[in-house]
Chain A
Amino acid sequence: MNSEIIIKDLHISVQEKPIIKGLNLTVKQGEIHALMGPNGSGKSTLANGLMGHPLYDIDSGEVIFNGVDILELEPNERAKLGLFLAFQYPTAIPGVSMANFLRLAVSAVRAKGGNGSGDDGLIPMREFRRELRAKMKQLGIDDSFARRYLNDGFSGGEKKRAEILQLAMLEPQIAILDETDSGLDIDAIRVVGESVSQLIGPELGVLIITHYPRLLDYIRPQFVHILLDGQIVESGGWELTQMLEAEGYDPIRKKYDIEE
């Protein structure tokens, strides 16, 4: 079965303030969608709401993932279904090594509440190590990364690469990448862009949130959407990114009569 996430007339508010106001979008496994929109338009709110962040209140609408309405599910249950969010601002967890964390996470997601793993419910250490090392190598990440504490004292670029490593290890069907390119220098954008493009294939559907077409040079989206004031106002292809690059958001704001 091909995975898909279907968002229907979704309304999300933060601290009583409506941010997402009737959003519709479907992302299928194997598809790449880009979501662009000015600062504060609600891109991260959508991402957090889809993943189940407790601060983001779902006022109405539906999110169907592989036939299941996930809005009542805990974030970990959504992860087990195959949904992944690469955070715009990954949180540091001091004292928890990347490797320990990933082993537990990978075991949880692969077990999907059932069996298939070792006695302690964890995937066997050797198997895990081998896989982690291989993926780190593939993404050009240094071995020492595995022993470092999760996002603790990571540079901006390291945080983003750590998110991509988690994406690679957890093998979701649908991934949301929230500004995985922000704060990166030109070389780092290339590294991250190439890493993500390695992971892309028929098994993975991606929703990339970004401000810059540069990342999209590496990960060519088939679909581009523009979010303005909590709604997707335009959907199209590559040409939309070119238009934004040339003219900014003003013409679209004018067209839909939305103030800055």
Chain B
Amino acid sequence: MANSETNTIEELGVSKEYQYGFHDDIKPTFKSRKGLDEEVINQMSDIKGEPDWMRQYRLDAYKIFKQKPMTKWGGDLSQLDFDDIYYYVKASDRSERSWDDVPDDIKKTFDRLGIPEAERKFLAGVGAQYDSEVVYHNIVEELDKIGVVFLDTDTAVKEYPDLVKKYFGSIIPSADNQFAALNSAAWSGGSFVYVPPGVKVEYPLQAYFRINSENMGQFERTLIIADEGSQVHYVEGCTAPTYSSESLHSAVVEIVCMKGSRVRYTTIQNWANNVYNLVTKRAFAYEDAQMEWVDGNLGSKLTMKYPSVYMMEPGARGDILSIAFASKGQHQDAGAKVYHCAPHTTSQITSKSISKDGGRSSYRGWVDVAKGAKGCKSHVVCDALILDKDSRSDTYPVIEIGENDTNIEHEARVSKIGEEQLFYLMSRGLSEEEASTMIVNGFIEPLVKELPMEYAVEMNRLIQLQMEGSVG
């Protein structure tokens, strides 16, 4: 039954134009039928050759998912049909370890994504997700030598069962929310990173993600464990081809920052305009550990994403820097959550949003200070830039304070591109479009300057594309 669907991939819109990219004719070797049930989960688990505990984990999560009502807050999910989605597509038989082993058509796609270049630049491990399966995963010897594990999560389940068992779902349990439950049942791919005590990874670890077949859900599952005093920067960037019907992307990212460790997780996402991007990202930071989320959201039909940091022990710090660009037909419901569970913990949230051509961006933030968590500091800055009168921006900040001895500041600003700013730049020879693009790029500069160089360049280019033809 499942196999009857396998051929349909060839009918898919290979020739359709993709605004920022390309679509290669890759034939998946397996594709489940639409919809999710126990049979599909078992089939998926069989093909992956998973241990029973993981199969059971999926099935338990599926039960929770079935019981959860449809999420009512955030954005409009009424068009999302869980039965009209492929939950598992396998593009190649196994994870590839070396560049030479990668099939040519897949390589071509990676070429365009610039992976070999990134490889040269960073001499780093490259994990890339192609359809639901990680097909290419190149781990450089340096990582091995310093004891750093960087694998796709499917492989990690088999090779590091103890670590995975201990931490998988410990930060974000299946019951956390509807989409965490769905991901826990249907997850595939994603990255697993373990950094041993005291090890500092000098270059960013990168992963590239793509959705490449119609109606195909992507449910990556990423788990990063930074052991005591270690340091790592993980970078993910996404592009996706445009298709006519809806796509669902629902990832879960769990991060453990042990005592004195430092983790930065950078994301730039530019989904096609029909993608639902519903992501749960959470980190636990222990004593004196520091967690930073840097999150850039462009494209998609609806994004709901609120990276969070739980500061579990004194001295922990959480920084969240996010940017959202909502264009025509798009709703970016993004934000951040920080939980001060211990005294003397510090957080900083910086959120920037841009709304254009009727796009809508919302900031949803949560600052929580537990009773007895004395001497905590939190600083929230929300800046919204609205480019025209059809566009919209809202903020929904919640602050829950159970402790008097705290210092919380919240600033929110909404601005429009000023006539004076436009005139100033135009009087220097810039066209209206160049001038407004420059103002928007300046607006997001505080985030862009935190990105690795080539991402910063890409970010500015994406903004430029978004701005093209925006003014008459």
Contacts and interface: CB of A to CB of B under 8 A. Distances in A.
Interface of A: 51-55, 74-76, 78-80, 84-85, 87, 90-91, 93-96, 100-101, 104-106, 108-109, 149-150, 166, 170
Contacts of A96: 438-439, 441-442, 445
B428 A109 contact: yes
A93 B438 CA distance: 9
B434 interface: yes
A105 B429 contact: yes
Contacts of B446: 95
A150 B420 CA distance: 14
A101 B438 contact: yes
B424 interface: yes
B430 A104 contact: yes
Contacts of B419: 54-55
B427 A52 contact: yes
A94 B443 contact: yes
B429 A80 contact: yes
A79 B429 contact: yes
B50 interface: no
A95 B442 contact: yes
Contacts, number: 83
Given A51-B427, A54-B423, A109-B429, A149 B418 contact: no
Interface in B405-445: 418-421, 423-432, 434-435, 438-439, 441-445
A95 B443 contact: yes
Contacts of B441: 95-96
22 contacts: A52-B423, A52-B426, A53-B423, A74-B431, A75-B426, A76-B432, A91-B420, A91-B423, A93-B424, A93-B438, A94-B443, A94-B445, A96-B439, A96-B441, A96-B442, A101-B428, A101-B438, A105-B425, A105-B429, A106-B429, A108-B431, A108-B434
A75 B434 contact: no
Contacts of A52: 423, 426-427
A104 B432 CA distance: 13
B443 A91 contact: no
Contacts of A104: 430, 434, 438
Given A95-B441, A96-B441, 20 more contacts: A51-B427, A54-B419, A55-B419, A75-B423, A79-B428, A85-B427, A87-B424, A93-B425, A93-B438, A94-B445, A95-B442, A95-B443, A95-B444, A95-B445, A95-B446, A101-B425, A105-B425, A108-B428, A150-B442, A170-B428
Contacts of B421: 91, 93
Contacts of A108: 428-431, 434
Contacts of B425: 93, 101, 105
Contacts of A109: 428-429
B429 A76 contact: yes
B285 to A, nearest CB: 29
A166 B424 contact: no
Contacts of A75: 423, 426-427
A58 B226 CA distance: 65
B431 A93 contact: no
A170 B428 CA distance: 8
Which residue of B420, B439, B442 has the most chain A CB atoms within 10 A of its CB atom?
Answer: B442
Contacts of A78: 427
Contact of A149 (B426, B427, B431, B442): B442
B427 A76 contact: yes
B442 A93 contact: yes
Nearest to B437: A104
Given A74-B432, A76-B431, A104-B434, A93 B439 contact: yes
Contacts of A76: 426-432, 435
Interface string B442-469: 1111100000000000000000000000
A90 B420 CA distance: 9
B417 to A, nearest CB: 10
A91 B421 CA distance: 6
B264 to A, nearest CB: 21
B442 A91 contact: no
A87 B420 CA distance: 11
Nearest to B448: A95
Given A87-B424, A93-B425, A95-B444, A105 B432 contact: no
A62 B412 CA distance: 46
Contacts of B420: 91
B70 to A, nearest CB: 39
B436 to A, nearest CB: 11
A108 B425 CA distance: 11
A136 B438 CA distance: 23
A56 B431 CA distance: 19
A51 B423 CA distance: 9
A105 B430 contact: yes
Nearest to A75: B426
